[in-house]
């Protein structure tokens, strides 16, 4: 078995004819080896003796490889001409004087680079080794055998990269602090990060930066090319010139004129583009075509019609293509070009009934059409079957960071992988395979989501597919990669849970738009669950942190502690703020204690940022700077920290009695109290109720609980209440033979006495627990809530059918039809899932489907779901509210993107007893998470996530 | 000229045959004289020599009087047989050895007593001398001459008194503290107070008290009779037994049975009544007839129909009358009896279309029918012309304190005299002249309102009439009476203003139902005006207090300082709480300073009570005990102190620019700011606008104001803002020749820049300022607001016409038709007042009449106003919302009583230019305060009191 040992004798070949960028990367890999083994590899001189050798090179750029190929030891044919492929082989005695060798051969520059970094990964070095000082585990006697030999495949997506965007204050400050600006020194780190993550493509910072001017000069562009990084520019920056360049160069005496208008200043603008192409033509680029107004605005004012815009844009494209032919290459097919269908450009592309859009326009032939997401991680239009044949293919501009509508999220990256999995895998299926670029804002804290995005783009077979559980595997692998060197497996498993927990918090609601009124402080325990999760995260992180060596703190804090605790502390702060407000409104004296806790969270937020920015001698200084608390506009204008509410207690002890998840309370006072009946325990699986004895005064009271019902048991019958005491009422249901109604009293001795009625029933009292009802959900208090995954039956159609997605979405799971491109709107047969539930009486219900906040895949505002109740016909419902305007930028888009849910309601009439609800596959990109039915006349308690799932009859009962 | 000097030789006659109560009162008057002169009157022995003598007695109860009468020196004929009349005469040499004498002769016991107290008053002694230690001014050489001789008239109302009600915790604690209980020692002080205030009638405490059992025993009742106080019992306590007596005496073995039901326990209940009548028959009483359920509840459950209730009640009345005939007097006409038409009893009296009520029932012949107010000082049904002939007449049960719906007000008496004037004078005109009783709750702090009520009942000609300005006179007199001894006139004038101010605050909104959301914190400056008034009161009281001698603190604090400052501090607290909440919601850092001020007010509330309860060695201890902050129910259950809201400043200086009365603001930030245009100065009388530069951060900012408009002047153009700076923008309108529009900017240097548009016009720009438009109101910003008193023209009808009431109501004045009993519903001609206003353009307006919250005078829910616009017909509008139920206890009753306003709206279409709105007299008890028109599409800023009065074209312009 051939092998290579990374001992103190290990050497690297070097060849002058190699790509300089390849040699630079080899230096990085040598440094990686040193981190693992403690031995720095030497430089091999041709012909000398060597025990262990690493030979690396690119097809047609390496004498070593040519020689080995000639001698049949490697087969360059297997990689030659391929895109970013490498072979990785261990051979004994490859040549005279060399005992063992690892041979890394790339099909091209980046193939070789990926091969080199593959070595680092095999040695346990994280791609984030230099970006986050994520040090590998030190190892002795490191040996690789030929078991690792393989030839890589071509990446799934051709261009894979990210966009550094809206880079102030965070990225800008970081770059200035460490490199004196957003210059080539800064970009060298970005290029390394990109390549180690298997990316190859970049949209550089452009808010107040000019990539091709600030290097200084072209230095950044030159360096990118050296490293094999393909540069492009963002959606509104044509011809390799950054958005700000025109502002810098324009003027009355400027050769470019003083008007960013192709109508009024055609000559100046054309010259501006020409000079950009001339400047950057030597480098590997994807050239952006098209034109928008200044600063992300419309090309022409809103007073101009669609046709005028399209005609102008066509003229622009023609001009740009002619410039490219003249300056870059006569053969346009050889020049990678893109056009981004962002915001209003989408409309210009699709046109409308009267005006043909740019689709199929000859000027776009061979141009990659970049589609976009809804700014919040949900793709918008996707190519239909006919469109997929477009020469030039499609790309996707995706967001993990946003500065703009419907709201900005820029502070901490909290990307929830299952969403990226679902959306980008689906986009790939729709034919979006040529460019994937993700807006990662300031880069810092986006490492986790970015890693997955680029890995998915590199290998969709491995990380895509039809089961989001693959993201659990990915998370496990990522944690091993980053934290394997600093903590034992038991800790790493805790880290995995923390990552899932904090990204799940972000998936439910983003930091910036979290506030005191998102989650109801009490209803359905939703706020408590968020609080528990947040406190668990904080506790776990604090506990893990104690075990981390000083040298590893940089990676630990930047990749876990700060994003997780920052998120958890912020969520906790707002949950407490909401509770503080509600409790203050009820005069609960506990409100004051909670106000103090809110204050602690506010201080902790600053502490966490400070810690992140000072760890590792300020390695991340700048990255924590984004405003992130209490946005009331799409941006941080007028944002505000939580308000704290302070109360005075009543003048004498004042008891409030309240079920723990209920905002209503009894006072037990004589005249104005509202009686309560607790029916919770009618639900078969509920055998206890927790309730609080609350003090609305600073003066304590003694309480006593009394009941004449033998079946009621309390965990305490008397005591003192200073602030709040939680009591549990339990019933041994096995002792019951029929439904019972009883009451108990809680007396605040000397002040008040509340009398509460309780209803309960034995489990067998549910009259319909026969075996054939198994799987049906029971109405309770007028509500039926079913998780989408808990259907009773599934019916597929011609290879199409629903699958359960888990983990996924706000409630953890969902169902979706596969294959994702299938459209059943006009089909006669549709796949379906079937839900069964039992009502207590005939009646009208409001039926509400909770769906993932996806957008229509077609430009028309049509997005259908279908359902049918019992023997009823299929009802097709267009989930789009306003069909007179594009979905994107509509109020529905805004609300759904903020709340991470699409709710579609209908009124249905249900007979008493068993009902069957069918949910059909209709339009693509419909993902069902939950179904909630509420009986007419019942008011569903206000909440963000909705009710708890109803009781489901067990198969065994 | 005959005279009597109150020197050290002054003596009082005493006669054994006189009423003992009269002699007791003479003792009180001797003590009063001592307080004034320093000389205590001696006791005159018949036949001895005496320089100055006071002879007092009652017709047929005095040998002195008989002798003087025989000798023609006095004429008892002029008073004999009259009700509570006395003659007051100074005569020289009335008899052998006596030089000068004052002869006080009463027609009856109370006539004599009132005569004696009249002497005290003449000497400058307040009726509150012993109740509030309100000491008279010390005088030397006090001499009265026969210029004061006169014969009093019979009081306007026969029985005049008050009701001590809901006496815990305040009155009960006070009585227990000072007398060991609500017993005869306690009542002796009450009787004295009542008699000094010219009352004669009392409903005793009955919440946990039994007047005829707790004396001890009958002692209180006996003492009342001795003093000439006519005892009665409240509305639901028949046959001289207090409400609690039955609870004490009932039981399974009780002779009275164990069921307060005339249906089930006729015998026991009848015996209970019989024993009450037997027990109290010896005393002067007004016996309550009728029956209600226990504790103010309905007689029969709500499941029983009207007829069943009425039949039962008729049976009860018959039984009671028979008992009275048997026990008290065979001639029922000689027995004063009353029945109170409280709450549901009113319905039993009036009946409905199907069921005849108790009206005209023979059992009620000779019984005084007690009507009631709406619990908040507005009378309900009043006798129509036919009813006025009822034998037995009518009484009124009125409230200055309430424990019950629509809300309780029990803390500090804040009776606003013009309301009592308007309502009780009107009731008198409607024939309510036999009994007036006012619920004064705990008595303490009710002295001012109670004094007026009893003085009005005693002499309606003096204190009633058709002009509420008489209440100004009354207040002046009252202040002279109470404070004349302790401060100079200049101070007393300040006291008068304070009294008007604090009772006006209470008239607008009562203490208990004041909260942070009553007045809008900014709009129309209403909260600021309340705050200014409150702070003025507090300042004035503090300043006055410094001048008060220790001995006078008791009266000063109890009659002025505590009620005025208590009220002012509470109103201030809530205004600040509302402002704190609004400002916190806008992140104004000033919110935190305001929160601290709220806290100061909360502490001050406790301090004020403590001061009141400890002054004069605890003379008022107990009277401050009522809960009074933040009621959320009709009673104090679940009441709460204000919530304080604390904010964190934004991370960097943040400017907000806001007009001082506007809740909207500009941030001057780039993306999300909402532009403002200020049109205030288009109004002819507005030449300046104040606005605030606010900081929403703890970090100060520098500002600079810039404008290109020469006509704009600012009182500052630059400076620093730490918390808030107020800037004034002025325009010299005389320099303008036409309407102008301009703008200015406020820059928070380095952070933001707000650009504000301003419109203004020269005064002459109002195109219609010709002389004939004088008196018309101008539309401004879509709003026209006219005070009712500012009509342009009045038209009377057959001696009926509108008069202006001032002072009156929430805005200070109103108009009402006199005579008050006139009803024009069916009349062809109606009195009217006419308002003129100019609109800027033709359009639809919402017309809203702000009326006093009066109730219909008839039982039917009908209460009409009439209006007509321009040439339009008279529109008759029933101001009652729900005509299917009695007005009393309806939601409208509750809302109007809380808000102290009745709002009646209509939609009208106004042509451009001049409009004439006529308001007609229709139903009685309609009192118009303001008229507000709001143009359709304009949203009237939320407020409690409504907009400021519009500009009115001056006659001289």
Model pLDDT for residues A334-386, shown as the tens digit of each residue: 999 999 998 888 999 999 989 999 999 999 999 999 999 999 999 999 999 99
Three-state secondary structure call for residue A651: coil
Model pLDDT for residues B645-661, shown as the tens digit of each residue: 999 999 999 999 999 99
pTM listed for this prediction: 0.96
Closest in A637, A641, A673 to B647, CB measured = A641
Is A644 at the interface with chain B, CB within 8 A? yes
* DSSP one-letter code for A137: P
What is the mean pLDDT of the segment spanning B130-153? 96
Model pLDDT for residues A65-110, shown as the tens digit of each residue: 999 999 999 999 999 999 999 999 999 999 999 999 999 999 999 9
Using the beta-carbon criterion (under 8 Å), do A640 and B673 form an inter-chain contact? no
Interface size, chain A vs chain B, as Cβ–Cβ contacts under 8 Å: 84
Cis (ω within 30 of 0) for the bond into A85?
A: no
Q: What pLDDT shows up at residue A957?
A: 44
Cβ burial of A735 (10 Å; 0-12, 13-18, 19+) is exposed
Which token pair is A414? 């909290």
Nearest CA in chain A to B665: A638
Spatial distance between the Cα atoms of A882 and A878, rounded to a whole number of angstroms: 10
Is A252 at the interface with chain B, CB within 8 A? no
Is A667 at the interface with chain B, CB within 8 A? yes
Using the beta-carbon criterion (under 8 Å), do B640 and A634 form an inter-chain contact? no
Nearest CA in chain A to B651: A627
For A822-826, the CB contacts below 8 A with 24+ separation are A822/A921, A822/A924, A823/A922, A823/A923, A823/A924, A824/A797, A824/A800, A824/A866, A824/A920, A824/A921, A824/A922, A824/A923, A825/A864, A825/A876, A825/A922, A825/A923
What residues 552-581 of chain B have any CB closer than 8 A to a CB of chain A? none
Using the beta-carbon criterion (under 8 Å), do B645 and A643 form an inter-chain contact? yes
Write the DSSP assignment of B691-725 as a string of letters.
Answer: EEEEESBSS-EEEEEEES-TT-EES-SEEEESSEE
Is B646 at the interface with chain A, CB within 8 A? yes
Is A647 at the interface with chain B, CB within 8 A? yes
Name which of B592, B648, B671, B695 to mutate to probe chain A: the one with the most chain A Cβ atoms within 10 A of its Cβ: B648
- For B23-32, b/e burial (b = at least 16 CB within 10 A) is bbbbebbbeb
Is B633 at the interface with chain A, CB within 8 A? yes
Is A542 at the interface with chain B, CB within 8 A? no
Is B635 at the interface with chain A, CB within 8 A? yes
Using the beta-carbon criterion (under 8 Å), do A648 and B641 form an inter-chain contact? yes
Model pLDDT for residues B369-389, shown as the tens digit of each residue: 999 999 999 999 999 999 999
- For A364-377, b/e burial (b = at least 16 CB within 10 A) is bebbbbbbbbbbbb
Nearest CA in chain B to A625: B651
- Mapped to the 3 state alphabet, what secondary structure does A163-198 carry? ECCCCCCHHHHHHHHHHCCCCHHHHHHHHHHHHHCC
ipTM score above 0.90: yes
Is B674 at the interface with chain A, CB within 8 A? no
pLDDT band at B765 (very low <50, low <70, confident <90, very high): low
In chain B, residues with a C-beta closer than 8 Å to the C-beta of A634 are 671-672
Is B874 at the interface with chain A, CB within 8 A? no
Using the beta-carbon criterion (under 8 Å), do B672 and A637 form an inter-chain contact? yes
Model pLDDT for residues B69-91, shown as the tens digit of each residue: 999 999 999 999 999 999 999 99
Is A23 at the interface with chain B, CB within 8 A? no
Q: Does the pLDDT value for residue A661 go beyond 80?
A: yes
Closest in B651, B669, B670 to A627, CB measured = B651
Model pLDDT for residues A757-789, shown as the tens digit of each residue: 999 999 876 655 567 888 999 999 999 999 999
Write the DSSP assignment of A743-773 as a string of letters.
Answer: EEEEEETTTEEEEEEEEE--GGGSTT-SGGG
Give the count of alpha carbons within 13 A of A882, CB side only. 11
Closest in B595, B644, B648 to A641, CB measured = B648
End-to-end CA distance of chain B: 60
Q: What pLDDT shows up at residue A297?
A: 75
Q: Does the pLDDT value for residue A686 go beyond 80?
A: yes
Three-state secondary structure call for residue A874: coil
Using the beta-carbon criterion (under 8 Å), do A643 and B671 form an inter-chain contact? no
Using the beta-carbon criterion (under 8 Å), do B637 and A696 form an inter-chain contact? no
Max distance between CA atoms of chain A, in angstroms, equals: 102
Supply φ then ψ for residue A595, to 5 degrees.
-60, -40
In chain A, residues with a C-beta closer than 8 Å to the C-beta of B602 are 648
Nearest CA in chain A to B626: A651
List Cβ neighbours of A32 (8 Å cut-off, separation of 6 or more).
Answer: A119, A120, A123, A125, A129, A136
Closest in A584, A637, A671 to B671, CB measured = A637
Using the beta-carbon criterion (under 8 Å), do B669 and A637 form an inter-chain contact? yes
CA-based nearest distance A927→chain B, Å: 34
What is the mean pLDDT of the segment spanning B485-502? 97
CB B101 within 8 A of CB B4: yes
CA-based nearest distance B672→chain A, Å: 7
Using the beta-carbon criterion (under 8 Å), do B643 and A584 form an inter-chain contact? yes
CA-based nearest distance B637→chain A, Å: 7
Spatial distance between the Cα atoms of A293 and A633, rounded to a whole number of angstroms: 23
Using the beta-carbon criterion (under 8 Å), do A646 and B646 form an inter-chain contact? yes
Is A412 at the interface with chain B, CB within 8 A? no
In chain B, residues with a C-beta closer than 8 Å to the C-beta of A696 are 638, 640
In chain B, residues with a C-beta closer than 8 Å to the C-beta of A648 are 602, 640-642
Q: What is the mean pLDDT of chain B?
A: 96
Model pLDDT for residues A240-275, shown as the tens digit of each residue: 999 899 999 999 999 999 999 999 999 999 999 999
Is A698 at the interface with chain B, CB within 8 A? no
Residue B178's nearest CA partner among B536, B622, B568 is B622
Spatial distance between the Cα atoms of B46 and B67, rounded to a whole number of angstroms: 12
- Mapped to the 3 state alphabet, what secondary structure does A615-647 carry? HHHHCCCCCCCCCCCCCCCCCCCCCCCCCEEEC
Using the beta-carbon criterion (under 8 Å), do A638 and B587 form an inter-chain contact? yes
Name which of A573, A577, A587 to mutate to probe chain B: the one with the most chain B Cβ atoms within 10 A of its Cβ: A587
What is the mean pLDDT of the segment spanning B663-688? 96
B3-5/A864-869 β-pairing: unpaired
Name which of B650, B673, B699 to mutate to probe chain A: the one with the most chain A Cβ atoms within 10 A of its Cβ: B650
pLDDT band at A163 (very low <50, low <70, confident <90, very high): very high
- For residue B84, CA distances in Å to B12, B28, B117, B228 come to 21, 19, 13, 10
Spatial distance between the Cα atoms of A199 and A181, rounded to a whole number of angstroms: 24
Q: What pLDDT shows up at residue A681?
A: 95
Write the DSSP assignment of B269-281 as a string of letters.
Answer: HHHHHHHHHHHHT
Closest in B638, B641, B646 to A647, CB measured = B641
Give the count of alpha carbons within 13 A of A752, CB side only. 23
Q: Which residue has the tokens 């590199």?
A: A458
In chain A, residues with a C-beta closer than 8 Å to the C-beta of B584 are 643
Higher pLDDT, A677 or B344: A677
Is B596 at the interface with chain A, CB within 8 A? no
Which token pair is A606? 């600053």
End-to-end CA distance of chain A: 60
Q: Which residue has the tokens 């002869």?
A: B103
Closest in A585, A654, A672 to B633, CB measured = A672
What residues 895-954 of chain B have any CB closer than 8 A to a CB of chain A? none
What is the mean pLDDT of the segment spanning B539-562? 98
Is A721 at the interface with chain B, CB within 8 A? no
* DSSP one-letter code for B915: E
Distance of CA A728 to the CA centre of its chain: 39
Q: What pLDDT shows up at residue A769?
A: 59
Is B587 at the interface with chain A, CB within 8 A? yes
Q: What pLDDT shows up at residue B544?
A: 98
Q: What is the mean pLDDT of chain A?
A: 96
The neighbouring-strand residues paired with B394 are B369
Q: What pLDDT shows up at residue B766?
A: 63
Write the DSSP assignment of B93-126 as a string of letters.
Answer: EEETTEEEEEEEEESSHHHHHHHHHHHHHHTT--
Q: What pLDDT shows up at residue A299?
A: 78
Q: Is B882 left (phi over 0), alpha (psi -120 to 50) or beta?
A: beta
Above pLDDT 70, what percent of chain B? 99
pLDDT band at B957 (very low <50, low <70, confident <90, very high): very low
CA-based nearest distance A656→chain B, Å: 9
- For A520-533, b/e burial (b = at least 16 CB within 10 A) is bbbbbbbbbebbeb
CB B336 within 8 A of CB B383: no
pLDDT band at A956 (very low <50, low <70, confident <90, very high): low
Q: Does the pLDDT value for residue A732 go beyond 70?
A: yes
Nearest CA in chain A to B647: A643
Q: Does the pLDDT value for residue B771 go beyond 80?
A: no
Is B638 at the interface with chain A, CB within 8 A? yes
CA-based nearest distance B650→chain A, Å: 6
């Amino acid at each position: 078995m051939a092998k290579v040992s990374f001992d103190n004798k290990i050497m690297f070949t070097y060849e002058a004819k190699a790509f300089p960028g390849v040699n630079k990367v080899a230096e990085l890999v040598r440094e990686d080896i040193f981190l693992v083994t403690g031995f720095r590899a030497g430089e091999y001189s041709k012909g000398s003796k060597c025990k262990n050798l690493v030979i690396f090179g690119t097809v047609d750029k390496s004498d070593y490889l040519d020689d080995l190929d000639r001698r049949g030891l490697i087969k360059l044919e297997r990689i030659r001409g391929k895109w970013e492929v490498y072979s990785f082989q261990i051979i004994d005695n490859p040549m005279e004087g060399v005992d063992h060798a690892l041979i890394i051969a790339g099909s091209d520059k980046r193939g070789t680079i990926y091969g080199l970094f593959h070595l680092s990964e095999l040695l346990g070095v994280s791609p984030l080794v230099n970006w986050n000082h994520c040090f590998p585990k030190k190892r002795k006697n490191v040996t690789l055998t030929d078991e690792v030999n393989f030839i890589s495949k071509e990446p799934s997506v051709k261009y894979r990269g990210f966009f550094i965007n809206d880079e102030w204050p965070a990225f800008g400050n970081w770059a200035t602090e460490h490199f004196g600006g957003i210059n080539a020194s800064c970009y060298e780190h970005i290029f390394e990060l990109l390549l180690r993550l298997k990316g190859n493509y970049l949209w550089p910072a452009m808010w107040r930066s000019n990539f091709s001017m600030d290097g200084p000069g072209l230095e950044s562009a030159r360096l990118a090319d050296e490293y094999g990084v393909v540069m492009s520019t963002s959606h509104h920056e044509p011809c390799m010139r950054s958005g700000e360049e025109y502002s810098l160069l324009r003027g009355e005496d400027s050769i470019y004129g003083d008007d960013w208008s192709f109508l009024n200043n055609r000559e100046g603008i054309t010259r501006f583009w020409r000079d950009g192409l001339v400047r950057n033509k030597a480098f590997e680029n994807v050239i952006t075509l098209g034109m928008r107004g200044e600063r992300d605005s419309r090309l022409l004012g809103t007073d101009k019609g669609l046709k005028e815009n399209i005609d102008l844009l066509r003229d622009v494209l023609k001009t740009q293509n002619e410039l490219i032919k003249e300056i870059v290459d006569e053969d346009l097919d050889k020049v990678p070009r893109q056009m981004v269908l962002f915001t209003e450009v989408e409309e210009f592309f699709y046109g409308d009934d009267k005006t043909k859009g740019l689709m199929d326009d000859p000027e776009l032939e061979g141009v990659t059409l970049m589609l976009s997401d809804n700014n919040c991680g949900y793709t918008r239009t996707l190519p239909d079957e006919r469109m997929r044949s477009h020469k030039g293919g499609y790309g996707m501009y995706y967001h993990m960071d946003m500065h703009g509508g419907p709201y900005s999220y820029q502070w901490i990256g909290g990307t929830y992988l299952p969403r990226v999995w679902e959306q980008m895998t689906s986009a790939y299926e729709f034919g979006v395979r040529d460019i994937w670029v993700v807006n990662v804002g300031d880069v810092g804290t986006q490492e986790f989501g970015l890693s997955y995005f680029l890995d998915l783009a590199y290998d969709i077979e491995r990380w895509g597919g039809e089961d989001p559980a693959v993201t659990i595997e990915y998370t496990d692998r990522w944690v091993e990669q980053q934290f394997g060197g600093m903590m034992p497996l038991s800790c790493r498993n805790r880290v995995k849970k923390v990552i899932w927990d904090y990204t799940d918090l972000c998936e439910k609601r983003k930091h910036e738009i979290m506030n005191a009124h998102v989650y109801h402080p009490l209803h359905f325990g939703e706020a408590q669950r968020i609080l528990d999760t947040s406190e668990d995260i904080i506790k776990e992180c604090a506990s893990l942190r104690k075990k981390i060596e000083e040298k590893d703190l940089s990676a630990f804090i930047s990749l876990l502690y700060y994003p997780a605790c920052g998120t958890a502390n912020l969520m906790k702060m707002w949950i407490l703020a909401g509770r503080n407000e509600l409790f203050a409104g009820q005069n609960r004296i506990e409100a004051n204690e909670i106000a103090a806790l809110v204050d602690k969270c506010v201080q902790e937020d600053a502490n966490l940022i400070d810690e992140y920015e000072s760890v590792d001698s300020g390695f991340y200084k700048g990255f924590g700077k984004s405003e992130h608390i209490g946005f009331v506009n799409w941006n941080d204008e007028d944002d505000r920290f939580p308000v704290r509410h302070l109360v005075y207690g009543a003048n004498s002890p004042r008891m409030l009695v309240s079920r723990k998840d209920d905002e209503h309370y009894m006072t037990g006072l004589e005249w104005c109290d509202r009686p309560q009946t607790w029916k919770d325990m009618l639900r078969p699986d509920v055998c206890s109720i927790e309730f609080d004895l609350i003090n609305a005064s600073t003066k304590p009271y003694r309480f006593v609980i009394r009941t004449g019902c033998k079946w009621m048991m309390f965990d305490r019958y008397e005591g003192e209440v200073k602030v709040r005491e939680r009591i549990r009422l339990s019933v041994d249901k096995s002792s019951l033979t029929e439904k019972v109604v009883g009451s108990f009293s809680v007396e605040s001795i000397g002040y008040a006495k509340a009398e509460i009625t309780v209803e309960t029933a034995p489990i067998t009292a549910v009259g319909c627990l026969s075996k054939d009802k198994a799987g049906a959900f029971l109405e309770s208090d007028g509500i039926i809530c079913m998780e989408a995954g808990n259907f009773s039956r599934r019916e597929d159609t011609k290879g199409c059918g629903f699958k359960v997605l888990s983990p996924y979405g706000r409630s953890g799971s969902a169902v979706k039809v596969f294959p994702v491109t299938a459209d059943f709107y006009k089909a006669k047969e549709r796949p379906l899932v079937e839900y069964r539930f039992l009502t207590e009486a005939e009646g009208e219900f409001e039926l509400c489907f909770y769906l993932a906040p996806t957008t229509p895949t077609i430009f028309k505002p049509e997005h259908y779901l279908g359902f049918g109740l019992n023997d009823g016909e299929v009802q097709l419902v267009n989930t789009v509210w306003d069909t007179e305007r594009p979905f994107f930028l509509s109020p529905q888009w805004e609300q759904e993107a903020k709340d991470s849910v699409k709710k579609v309601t209908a009124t249905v009439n249900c007979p008493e007893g068993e009902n069957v609800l069918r949910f059909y596959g209709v339009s693509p990109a419909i993902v069902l998470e939950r179904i909630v039915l509420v009986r007419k006349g019942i008011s569903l308690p206000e909440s963000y996530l909705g009710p708890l799932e109803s009781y489901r009859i067990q198969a065994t009962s």
